[in-house]
Structure 1
Amino acid sequence: MTPVATFFRNLEAKCCAACGQAMTEQAESYMTECFDCQEKASKDAYLYYYSKR
């Protein structure tokens, strides 16, 4: 059986699902998008919501 430390040390870099940029979060994090892409998505959603009013 592989030790836990060896397993996590050998994981590939985690990449953003939206832009493909390498992420610095820990591998076990549930984030799939980098902070820049999350910020852009939040801003786009905000603008879309308030443009319908």
Structure 2
Amino acid sequence: MTPITTFFRNLESKCCAACGQTMVEQAESYMTECFACQEKATHDAYLYYHTKK
């Protein structure tokens, strides 16, 4: 059985699902998008919601 520290040390870097940039979050994090892409999506959603008529 592989020690847990070896398992996490050998995981590949996480990449953002939107832009492909390498993420620095922990490997076990559930995030799939980097902070910049999350911020852009939030901003776009805000603008869409507040400009609807």
Q: TM-score, normalised by structure 1?
A: 0.98
* Displacement over 6 Å in runs of 4+: none
Q: Which residue is equivalent to 1:44?
A: 44
Q: CA deviation at 1:29?
A: 0.2
Secondary structure of 1:15's match? coil
Aligned length: 53
Q: Percent identity?
A: 79
In structure 1, C-alpha distance between the alignment counterparts of 2:35 and 2:8, rounded to whole Å = 22
Partners of 1:17 and 1:52 in 2: CA distance: 28
**Greater strand fraction, Structure 1 or Structure 2:** 1
Unaligned runs of 5+ in 1: none
Alignment root-mean-square deviation, CA = 0.5
